[in-house]
Amino acid sequence: MATTEIKKNIHWVGAVDWDIRDFHGYSTNKGSTYNSYLVMDEKIALFDTVKKPFKNELLHHIHELTEPEKIDYIIVNHVEMDHTGCLPEMIELIKPEKVFCSPMGHKALLSHFHREDWPYEIVKSGDSISLGRKTVQFLETKMLHWPDSMFSYIPEDKLLISSDGFGQHWATSERFDDEVNMNELMAHAAKYYANILLIFSPNARKLLEKVAELGLEIDMIAPDHGLIWRKNVAGILESYGRWARQEAREKAVVVFDTMWHSTEKMAKAIYKGLLKEGISIKMMDLQVSHRSDIVTEVLDARAVLFGSPTLNNGMLPTMADMLTYLKGLRPTGKIGAAFGSFGWSGEAVKHINNYMEKMKFDIVDPGLKVKNVPTHEDYQVCFDLGVKVGKAIKGE
């Protein structure tokens, strides 16, 4: 794959990972990219590197434009290893004049690579450097999604190099948003936000406010993963604002696992009750739905219902995994309810409720338990729970 000039004398020189299928528990069934950018000016600057196994791909792309030894600066916007895995080897080869990073980036680089001899240049929000005709302005973006994270902005090109912000895990031969299906792209962007940045939504809101306050003119956003935004910049900024506010619509996600189909039957009866109230519903069976896809659906849902049979005085392991993962992402403003079948004890509902309480869900029902196999009367109770949740979603 060749380099791509994204702005005059600014080139994508990254790598495409077609095969990755898991990223810290996030299902990356469409692969990913590790985007690196090379600015050719009086001073040549490389923005981020790539995951270690892709070093040669990065070097090949750089060689298309210049000799690596001619690079003057390396700018480290984010220290996570998918962007710095080959950094020590690149520094050894390039011998840059300076390695720019945030104050927390400096600490992170030392604790990752234990190299005090690198030519660090620490920059903070508001600092800038000149490359010649182009300027690079820095904006720290702490906890989006690591303490070291920062953006680099090139005002002459109205280009925001946004580190892990506005990214997607999606391997493509295309480099720009207007070269792919926009609906699929936005779905990947939503999944990325839901699984990586949701926990940091308060920080995202503050960052968006800061960008507006600074009056940055942005007509292109170049993230470290996925496609570069050049057509739908306003759209992705608007979406991030909505996701950061955790705005929800009249939608419910029913997440369940089942042992002998009794909890599944309950879920289907609850579905019918929600449907009666005109609610949009996603049925997510944990046997076939990955946790990261469920979280993506939860992103804009007003209610989430969790169903599990009782196993060994607890819930099924798949549900425990799901709730642990979701709890770590700290969704807010959700309505919740628990349900499940049992044989002789029935503690699963209690344990699910405990998780929802810790996530500060508005639990609208104490929990529905059915012994063994549901009867017609039990189906009606499940249906009524769906109606109850549906009315709560609508504020009735």
- For 95, left (φ over 0), alpha (ψ -120 to 50), or beta? left
Phi, psi of 145 (to 5 degrees): -120, 10
Q: Please count the other Cβ atoms lying within 10 Å of the Cβ belonging to residue 208.
A: 17
Provide the pLDDT for residue 375.
92
Q: Which residues are registered as beta bridge partners of 315?
A: 310
Known catalytic residues are 24, 78, 80, 82, 145, 164, 192, 225
Provide the pLDDT for residue 211.
87
DSSP 8-state assignment for residue 35: -
CA distance 386 to 69: 64
H helices then E strands: how many in the chain? 12, 24
Report which of 257, 347, 259 is spatially closest to residue 305, judged by C-alpha positions. Answer: 257
Provide the pLDDT for residue 143.
87
Sign of the CA dihedral with 169 first, then 124, 131, and 153 last: positive
Output the six-digit token pair for 299: 């992103």
Q: Yes or no: say if 149 and 58 are a contact pair by the CB < 8 Å rule.
A: no
Q: What is the pLDDT of residues 284-337, one digit of tens each?
A: 999 999 999 999 999 999 999 999 999 998 999 999 999 999 999 999 999 999
**Which residues, given as ranges, of the chain have pLDDT below 50?**
none
Domains present along the chain, CATH in parentheses: 4-244 (3.60.15.10), 252-390 (3.40.50.360)
CA distance 117 to 102: 17
Q: Where are the alpha helices (DSSP H) in the chain?
A: 55-63, 81-84, 87-94, 103-113, 182-192, 201-214, 233-244, 262-276, 291-298, 317-329, 348-358, 376-393
CA distance 254 to 288: 13
Q: What is the pLDDT of residues 42-71, one digit of tens each?
A: 999 999 999 999 999 999 999 999 999 999
